[in-house]
Amino acid sequence: MLIAVIFYFSESGDRLKQKHYQAWQVINTAQGKGGSGGRIEALQELNHDGVPLVGVDVSGAFLQNIHLEHARLLRSNFSSADLRDSNFNFADFSDADLRTANFRRSHLQGAGFERADLQDADLTDADLTGADLSGAALSHADLTNTNLANLQWRDLRSVKSTNIYGVKNAPDGFVPWAKQHGAVQTEPDPQ
C-alpha cells in the first residue's frame, strides 16, 4: 500500500503535465472554428492552474460566461469572440487583438488593456472599474452604459466614433475629451 501511495505522488507532476497538454490540444484543435469546442473548460482549467495563456487564439469562438480572472492573456487573439457575461477581472490583455469582441455585461475590473486593439468591440453594460486602457485603440467601440470608475484612459490611442452614451462614473475630463476626439453619444435602438 505504501509503495502505491509513493508512486501516486511521484507521478503527480506527469499527470498535471498531461492534463495541461490535453487542455492545450482542445484549444489548438478548435482554433478558427466557431462554438466553444470545449475551450471554456480548457482555458479555465489552465488559468486555474496558473498557466499563462499568452498568445492564445480563440478568435470567433463562443465563450459566453467564461471565468478567466487574473489570466495572463498578453498578445492573445479574441477578435470576434462572443464573451458576453464573462469574468476577466484583473486579466492582462496587453497587446491583444480584441477587435469586434462582444464583452456585453462582462466583468473587467482592474483588467489591463495596454496597447490592445478594441476597435468595434461591444462593451455595453460592462464593468471597466479600474481598468487600464493606456495606448488602447477604441475606435467604433460601444461603451453604452459601461461603468468607467477609476478608468486609466489618458493615453488612449483612438476613440473615433466610439459610443459613450450613458457611461457611468466616467473619470473627470473623459467625456469632453472623448467627444473632442470623435466619440459619439448615440442612444441605442430599443429592441
Q: What is the CATH number of domain 51-191?
A: 2.160.20.80
DSSP secondary structure of 97-117:
B-TT-B-TT-B-TT-B-TT-B
**Taking residues 1-10, what's their average pLDDT?**
51
Q: Count Cβ atoms below 10 Å from residue 176 Cβ, excluding itself.
A: 11
Judged by DSSP in three states, 8 sits in: helix
Supply the pTM of this predicted model.
0.89
Determine the pLDDT at residue 5. Answer: 45
**Taking residues 68-74, what's their average pLDDT?**
98
Tens digit of each residue's pLDDT (9 = 90 or more) over 15-64: 778 888 889 889 988 887 777 889 999 999 999 999 999 999 999 999 99
**Taking residues 156-185, what's their average pLDDT?**
97
Determine the pLDDT at residue 3. Answer: 55
d(CA 132, CA 7): 47
